[in-house]
A and B are shown apart, each in its own frame.
Chain A
Amino acid sequence: MSGDHHNTDDTGPAARVKALEAILTEKGLIDAAALDAIVDIYETRVGPRNGARVVAKAWTDSEYRKRLLANATSAVAELGFAGPEGGHLVAVENTDRIHNLVVCTLCSCYPWPVLGLPPVWYKSFAYRSRAVSDPRGVLRDFGLELAPEVEVRVWDSSAEIRYLVIPERPKGTEGMSEDALAGIVTRDSMVGVAKIAAPASRRIDSGRARA
């Protein structure tokens, strides 16, 4: 199926969703305003910017880092991040010896409250099958080559637990404020498919922080 998003025939997904919404609204089970609110939340308010704040705080506040590693659900809630798919959150920390990578081989489980909804590649068969069988190959596809002595840990979200990778803090960031640090943490680094590059100059362009 080629996923033609402009298909407007009677059996295309857009028509089916429209019909479903109509029936459910008629039965009083949903209303358009509530749906709009949900879409708004996941399009604009919940996203990797949340996780970036968690990471920046963990980098700058060693007590927070300890709390995050001990109980990520409550540590993340301290910053106001909670909600669906965030009931059992676990933070896994990258070091120079250990690199963590997150996948959901069965579907697309992802830590929504801190990263929002997953990107298309995360949900793809290519990623889901290869992340567990060839993680170093997948990382190469993303432009990351790990030294052989680095241990790769792949976390397959196969039950209720959702994972957030705490990437290594790059060199050259000493003295940066927590806000500025949050600006350089990328979505990809929090899934584990990328590292965060050391800032090229002292002037930080927060536009680079997009995943």
Chain B
Amino acid sequence: MSTATKALNNLIEAARLDADHVFSAPWEARAFAIALKLSEAGHFSWDEFRDRLIAEVGASERIRARDGTSDHGEYYEHFLRALERLLDEKGIVL
């Protein structure tokens, strides 16, 4: 079984065991709510936020391709970093 198949199978299994949870930890929920709220209030467009998120995800993938590690539940760490960077860039949080 390839590493990629194994990685995906692990995640599918985890989903079966924990089907009801949208967020794995309270901080993920908070980070999500902050990003959405600020976007709805017009401080940035969701499109802008998504561009940052794509950049964070992409950067981490280059590291992963180099190290050969597999991911699990890192998503909101990219999310949080994208949010922090965007807020910094916008001068909202210095």
Contacts and interface: CB of A to CB of B under 8 A. Distances in A.
Interface residues of B, number: 51
Interface residues of A, number: 47
Interface string B63-86: 010000011111111001001100
Interface stretch (A19-27, A146-154, A172-180): A19-27
Nearest to B50: A107
A78 interface: no
Nearest to A121: B11
A127 B8 contact: yes
A200 interface: no
A141 interface: yes
A140 to B, nearest CB: 8
Interface of A: 1, 3, 5, 13-14, 16-18, 20-21, 23-24, 27, 29-30, 34-36, 38-39, 42-43, 47, 84-85, 106-109, 116-117, 119-121, 123-127, 129-130, 137-138, 141-142, 210-211
8 contacts: A13-B27, A17-B34, A23-B93, A39-B29, A47-B22, A125-B64, A130-B4, A142-B12
Given A38-B37, A125-B71, 13 more contacts: A5-B73, A16-B84, A24-B38, A34-B33, A35-B34, A39-B30, A42-B22, A84-B36, A84-B46, A120-B75, A124-B8, A125-B70, A210-B20
